[in-house]
């Protein structure tokens, strides 16, 4: 019997501040709360499934068609990398390093020596603002624009006509090799741009993540012969480990299209999808209207995707952190995340309350396939939601 799990991460779809949000100055953040008030937000399918029935959200369906939970991040941080790692079974007890004042001089000097190019900026910056403010100097001198954010990232921006994308990728590989141990940031990110001032970013972004420090559910599934397929930046987040197949996608539309294509394919295992626009295009840009419209587009796609699920498939929808577009901050926010799970073998309307870790999702995926956690964190809720034991 072939079984499939479609695990879809709505990147940054938080549903309200966690109790420790004050540690990150994220009091009051509520990504879903901000966008659901906008007239562009129209999500009847998510409403029907039970998104609004989740603890703390409000306005739920009378008879929700999915099981649902509010997920609490156990890891210390609010980064894409540790959020996804926790979903997949790794709880990070220490935050990844961040650089609110830029990277140390010795790190930058070593990077300049290895690349043969000077560095400019070296400050926390918005990705669109940094190319506006430093793009002309970069184009005149060839110096690399290095910047960071509130997240654990080392980002390198370069104009495609000045630094070919393949060369930019090579510089990112150098940075990834350099940034280990004490300075082991979660991701090194290539940020190519093009055009004339104020410039535009191109879709050839590429992420170079740390190798996960321990086994994930993808490793366990792969070891037991199940297919492991990544869509979007999942492959990069896990440094490629544990995945048989990868399709990078530049936006939500491409990610949803590929996931739908995979639903029509014959395989047994996991399809792990990240939909990046919510975070990259709307959350970090404080674009409430755009975020709301993107959720509406996802909801419309979801109505069709449900029809593509097979008899023994389940779909899990969740998120990795928040990024409230209505606050002054353009950074991620420390929020609870939603979890909806549905499929022919899943009971409707089971309220799982607030779970203690994102890792419960991964543990549930493994139990669905009849596997033990094998060192991965998390407590499965599969027996609470399954119509009958598999």
pLDDT digits (tens, 9 = 90+) for 174-193: 999 999 999 999 999 999 99
pLDDT band at 362 (very low <50, low <70, confident <90, very high): very high
Q: Which helix (H) or strand (E) holds 113?
A: helix 105-115
Cα atoms found within 13 Å of the Cα of residue 124, Cβ hemisphere only: 11
CA distance linking residue 255 with residue 277, whole number of Å: 10
55 φ, ψ (degrees, to nearest 5): -50, 130
Write down the pLDDT at residue 389.
Answer: 53
Mean pLDDT of 85-105: 96
Helix, strand, or coil (residue 167): helix
User: Taking the model in full, what pTM does it have?
Assistant: 0.91
Report how far residue 374's alpha carbon sits from residue 376's, in angstroms, rounded to the nearest whole number: 6
Provide the pLDDT for residue 150: 83
Q: Is 59 helix (H, G, I), strand (E, B) or coil?
A: coil
Give the domain ranges of the chain.
4-93+212-385, 105-209
Judged by average pLDDT, the poorest of 117-121, 250-254, 258-262, 386-390 is: 386-390
Rounded Cα gap, residues 227 and 271, in angstroms: 8
Positive or negative, the CA dihedral 298, 302, 304, 310 is positive
* Closest of 239, 278, 235, 335 to residue 24, by C-alpha: 335
Q: What is the pLDDT of residue 388?
A: 73
Residue 316, Cα to own-chain centre: how many angstroms?
14
* Token pair recorded at residue 35: 């966008």
pLDDT at 390: 47
Angle (nearest 5°) at CA 139 between 138 and 142: 60
| From 26-30, 77-81, 242-246, the region with the lowest mean pLDDT | 77-81
- Do β-strands 337-343 and 313-318 pair in parallel, antiparallel, or remain unpaired? antiparallel
Contact in structure between 137 and 120 (CB atoms under 8 Å): yes
- Average pLDDT for 355-363: 98
- Tell me the pLDDT band of 74, cut-offs 50, 70 and 90: very high
**Per-residue model confidence (pLDDT) at position 264:** 97
Question: Can you tell me the distance from the alpha carbon of 150 to that of 125, in angstroms, rounded to the nearest whole number?
Answer: 9
Give domain 105-209's CATH architecture. Answer: 2-Layer Sandwich (3.30)
Average pLDDT, the chain: 96
Between CA 80 and CA 329 the distance in angstroms is 17
Beta bridge partner(s), residue 338: 70
pLDDT tens digits, 17-73? 999 999 999 999 999 999 999 999 999 999 999 999 999 999 999 999 999 999 999
Pairing type for strands 144-148 and 351-355 reads: unpaired
What's the fold here for domain 4-93+212-385? Answer: Alkaline Phosphatase, subunit A (3.40.720)
**167: its two tokens:** 């060369």
The distance in angstroms from the start CA to the end CA of the chain is: 11
What pLDDT digit, counting tens, does each position of 115-167 carry?
999 999 999 999 999 999 999 999 999 999 999 998 899 999 999 999 999 99
Nearest Cα residue to 190 out of 170, 210, 214: 170
pLDDT in tens, 283-300: 999 999 999 999 999 999
């Amino acid at each position: 019997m072939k079984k499939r799990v479609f695990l879809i991460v709505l990147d940054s779809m938080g549903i309200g501040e966690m109790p420790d949000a004050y540690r990150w100055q994220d009091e009051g953040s509520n990504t879903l709360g901000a966008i659901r008030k906008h007239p562009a937000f129209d999500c009847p399918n998510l409403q029907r499934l039970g998104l609004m029935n989740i603890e703390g959200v409000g306005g739920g369906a009378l008879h929700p068609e999915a099981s649902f939970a509010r997920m609490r991040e156990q890891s210390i941080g609010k980064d894409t990398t540790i959020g996804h790692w926790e979903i997949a079974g790794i709880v990070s007890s220490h935050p990844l390093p961040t650089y609110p004042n830029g990277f140390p001089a010795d790190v930058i000097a070593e990077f300049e020596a290895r690349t043969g190019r000077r560095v400019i900026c070296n400050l926390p910056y918005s990705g669109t603002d940094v190319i506006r403010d430093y793009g002309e100097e970069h184009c005149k001198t060839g110096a690399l624009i290095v910047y960071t954010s509130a997240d654990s990232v080392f980002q390198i921006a370069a104009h495609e006509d000045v630094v070919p994308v393949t060369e930019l990728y090579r510089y990112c590989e150098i940075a990834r090799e350099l940034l280990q141990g004490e300075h082991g940031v979660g991701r090194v990110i290539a940020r190519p741009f093009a055009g004339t001032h104020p410039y535009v970013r191109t879709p050839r972004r590429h992420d170079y993540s740390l190798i996960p420090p321990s086994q994930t559910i993808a490793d366990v599934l792969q070891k037991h012969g199940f297919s492991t397929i990544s869509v979007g930046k999942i492959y990069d987040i896990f440094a490629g480990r544990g995945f048989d197949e990868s399709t990078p996608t530049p936006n939500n539309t491409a990610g949803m299209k590929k996931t739908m294509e995979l639903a029509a394919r014959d395989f047994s295992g996991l399809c792990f999808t990240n939909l990046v626009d919510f975070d990259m295009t709307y959350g970090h840009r404080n674009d409430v209207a755009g975020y709301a419209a993107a959720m509406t587009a996802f909801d419309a796609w979801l109505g069709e995707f449900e029809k593509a699920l097979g008899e023994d498939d389940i779909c899990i929808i969740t998120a990795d952190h928040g990024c409230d577009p209505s606050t002054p901050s353009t950074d991620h926010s420390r929020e609870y995340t939603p979890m909806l799970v549905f499929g022919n073998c899943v009971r409707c309307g089971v309220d799982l309350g607030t779970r203690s870790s994102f890792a419960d999702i991964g543990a549930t995926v493994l139990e669905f396939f009849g596997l033990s956690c094998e060192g991965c964190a998390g407590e499965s809720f599969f027996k609470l939601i399954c119509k009958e034991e598999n």
